[in-house]
Structure 1
Amino acid sequence: MAPFNMFVTLLGAVYILSSGYLRLTTEDTDTPRPLRHDCPNTTTFNPNTPYQSNLDDVFSKLTSNAARGTDFIYFSASAGSENSTGNSSDYVYGIYLCRGDISSTMCHDCVLASITDARQECPTEKEVIIWEELCMLRYSNQSFQSTVSVSPSFILNNIMDATDKNKLKQEVEKTMNEFASEAANGAKKFMVQEASISGSEKIYSLVQCTQDLSSQDCTTCLRNANSILASSYSEKRGGRVLFPSCNARYELYRFYDVQQQTALVPKGKSKMSTLTIVEIVIAVSTVSLALLVTTCFVLRRKRESHKYNTIHGRNGESEITTVESLQFDLETIETATNKFSEDYKLGEGGFGEVYRGILPNGQEIAVKRLSKSSNQGTEEFKTEVVLVAKLQHRNLVRLLGFCLEGGEKMLVYEFVPNKSLDYLLFDPAKQGELDWSKRRNIIGGIARGILYLHEDSRLKVIHRDLKASNILLDADMHPKISDFGMARMFGIDQTEGNTNRIVGTYGYIAPEYAMEGLYSIKSDVFSFGVMLLEILNGRKNSGFHLTKFAPSLLTYAWNLWNEGKGLELMDPLLKDSCEANEFMRYVHIGLLCVQEDAYNRPTMSFVVHMLKSETISLSQPERPAFSVGRITHHHEQEIAPAHSFSDNGLTISTFVPR
């Protein structure tokens, strides 16, 4: 083992001498500076403040995870008190990304080094990105999860010129792009590859994305990086592109560890090398061990099957298996809600009732109680349990558990104190609480939540009832999408469905769904566009015909846009907090989402990208769907006026079976 370690050390020394990269260092040559860092001083914090405390908490979480023996390559963490200051600017969101071929020890050391560099290079900035040789650290007071970021970007090139520049350019463009999609679909979002150029010369490539990206977004990010390498820097013997969301690199020497990484794709190899044999032996041993562990786990699960309860779907297949800890007994729910006291009731409708509750540990909950007389209650219950139990995202309401006892069917959710978006947005007495900063954050949060449903969750989920009353607001006004009873799960390759029974809410339903029963992810995009325009204007789309302006909010927005008077759409309460250019960009995005032809509407991944970047040019919107008609099969049950807006904002709807 000692000779091998000596060889690795020697190889590392050769790499440093031969790589050809210029590195700036401090006077002490033992402490190299980071490859690159970015920390604009547009937002800063003072020492010994809540932000500093939360940042230290995030650093601690990141370093702790980096020391783990498994799943250490990428990690995200956040910190902030929802009740102390009530100021979302004190929140800290952070991630690190270690190169996929290094060990947990190396990852941990790199994360520690990046934190040290961050404190030195960016001591008071809130928006920080540090790129080290083997890892990246990023943190901000704004959430950036599941969002493609290609700015700021840095390009580094090997200072040595290639011998055959044209040949190398062709190979860089070919090899870098052909495995970008394969890497994007992998669990680690990381891959390396080697390919022969001519004779014994080879090109070695590496691509990696942050693991929160969808496969589509990862592919897009990598291809952007690869195009830069191929067009501008392929005449050099090496180059790399650093984006916040991904990175790509090529060299004419092997710069990664073939024994640590697990996604090597060799090309043009006629003979099996010693290292390849070692890799195969390790792989076979790993698979064998995994099979043994899996077998033991299955046998143990069979012995402990009495601890689980299963809800069965069609044909008797198991739709959800939930461990006992997720189940609430009826006595606990009755105690929490004072035996479903009227004083604890938050709302009611055709589905049943919603109650506020307090668990013995002091945690507040919202209990959704299925009406025993509802013909479709069991189906709706199964739909929400199957869906929501699998969905975990900060912009989705969190399911804490359920109860199936004494003939009751109940869902237990986290309690969200600031009610629903429509409670504040459409009440003239409360609209003032939503300045532009809050509305912009709400729009972005809703978009990220829908993106998670469409692309990043285990299955593609179409909500089908997105509206302002189904957007709950937590203590810091972060949005949480709720009410999944009308949602549909799709397979990864399925893009649309149809039905003879139209469900949803008038004013938010896409025209192709209302008229033909066709629904897809673009149906949700339409609903999002309606909400976006409502947030900008402060008035409902449905019922807008009661005003003197136009038959609908969409018509009004479209007319103003074509007349060059888009700023007149602005809620007067926003005039002191919203810049005209930013407002008009949001109007533009909203109109793109509500175009009549579903094909022309953007995907939610592109919507999130448009909301985040001011440099993306937007296409000209086509005519929106001015009217979708009254829905004869509409099943939405309006909540009684006395309970129109509940403390948790849960809407109560009737649902159709799948």
Structure 2
Amino acid sequence: MVILTVLPLALVMLLLPLAAIASGDPPWQHYCGSSGNYTAGSKYQANLQALAATLPSTASSSSPALFAKDAAGAGDAEPDRVFALTLRRGDTAANASSSSSSCADCASRALRDAQSVCPCSKEVAVYYDPCLLYFSGDDFLSSPANPAQVRLYDVDRSTRRGGGGADFVTLVRALLSYTMQWAVPYNSTGGDAAVRWYTTVRMDVVTPPLFSLMQCAPDMSGGDCRQCLQDLVGNTTFNGSVSGVRNIGARCGYRYDTYKFYGGEPKLRIGSLSEINSTAPPSPPPPPPVMETRSGRKKVLTVALLVPLIALCPVVIFCFAWIRRLRNHKSMLRKKDTMAREEVLKLWRLEESDSEFMLFDFSQIEDATSNFSEDKKLGEGGFGSVYKGQLPNGLEVAVKRLAAHSSQGLVEFKNEIQLIAKLQHTNLVNLRGCCIQGEENLLIYEYMPNKSLDFFIFDLKRAALLNWKIRLNIIEGITQGLLYLHKHSRLCIIHRDLKASNILLDRDMNPKISDFGLAKIFDSNDVQRNTKRVVGTYGYMAPEYASEGCFSLKSDVFSFGVLVLEIISGKRNAGFHQYGDFFNLLGYAWQLWKDGSWHELVDPSLVSEGQMMEIKKCMKVALLCVQENAVDRPTMSAVVKMLSSELKMLPEPKQPAFFNVRVKHGELSNTAPSSINDVTITIVNGR
């Protein structure tokens, strides 16, 4: 058995050229696949040994020697076949005298190293700086797929730069888009098949400059290569602290960095951003001129008359087909809409069975709201309008009538029913029922006679009606409501849209958290989740959520901190208002806190009440909640304890997340758009 195990490995070593056996730099990355392992003496190993002999030879015979692919065991059973390719970076083609031996050496050395880094693995990729090798038991050579993808980030904060005020990530994306455009020209006819689908670019817009390289295996079509590179760029996370990225698979890859990592001069240079849009990839040469003859002119005239007539036929056919398709599409949408409504009704009946919720007829709601008269309207938002109503039993209700164009559509409607039906707390709004009829989607809540928090605190006259005792009661009530959502309810809930307009006030000015259309059920074992659909309101959204789609319980904590600062100051966090050198309330509050002038933030109507130390404690708690890093923010359980502790016992807050900081001398950094009217925003991102 020992002889049978050692002998095949010895044969592989004998087949490798001496240049491959010589010591060299190790691969910068490798990939061991999940296709299983082969056993010593198996047919798969025998075919792999055959490739160790033939692939270097195939590589050395290509001209220029940059790419080779091979297979072994064509007549064997599927699990025993082996497919492989090797690819060298395009810039090595410049050294034609040594490229042949270099490509062969790379294939030989990579096959040797594969045995070391992934022993007996049936799928292996080995990546060196100038070349790569990949083999597998699956026939990837007949597919445009890009297996064995690996990615390496070069994080070097010392190289972060502003580029004359331009955003670094935006410049990187522009560079990669431009490089891709030239690596796979849309009008390219191919050229030399061995070196096509490859280019290098230098961008001099920033200092130090940026360098990029993109390359595909030359046997790919232009469309497959472009899609391959787009997929790689799309699955990369870019941020200002990453100075370079290598993202590569077996059939395509790219790299950018702050130094020239490839040989020779770059094929293209970008001296200004205007060049990216003004320069287009090469087009094919124009067709040869047609000789003007009498018969030629006659043919041209005939064609000129016939072409419009012939072209008109498919247009008419297309119009009929388009109208028919449109009708079918509308029918399908109506069918989907009916199914969705039935799903909501089924869900509602399940909730109704063990609750006090009701399913209302539309006529009942029409009568209760005087046919949705303007006199009954309480407010209006992106989702639709809210009306005051009175049921036959005398119960006053608030009716949310979702507009047909509402961004808070049937999904959010269903979400609110499912969640709020399971939640019962004195600081959460009570949902009485719903109505689904035709195009109408209605939610019926308990009526809050004092409207919402933003109705008071952002109005100079009405804000004077809220003394500190009332404001502190509102802060503590919101705290208890969030604590219930995060910890004590049947489900762990993240609200995701906590803001002043979603805090309703009852007759005694007690707060109730409302609008659960964007809420998410959260597994308490999770640290955070990611989403491509960012929803919420700018000014209240945590930075990691707004920029990267990462949300957690600490996202609500951030929104709570913003809300407390607004309650203390009577000022909005985002909007037209500017505070000193800052665009938002967070930066202004932080600067006042550092300068010891925190009392300047307090609403003037509160100053005379003599509760400044209590207000200072709440401001400190708020600043702890809006710290830039989510891990530094307290939980809502900790916030409850802080509000009942002495001021001196609280930790010192760190710098908050400055979304819209205005830096002196007119420079802008870390800017993000803000919602100036408190309307909930939904953003869909490609990450």
TM-score (norm 2): 0.46
Structure with the greater relative contact order (CA < 8 A, sep ≥ 6): 1 or 2? 1
* Structure number with bigger Rg: 2
TM-score (norm 1): 0.47
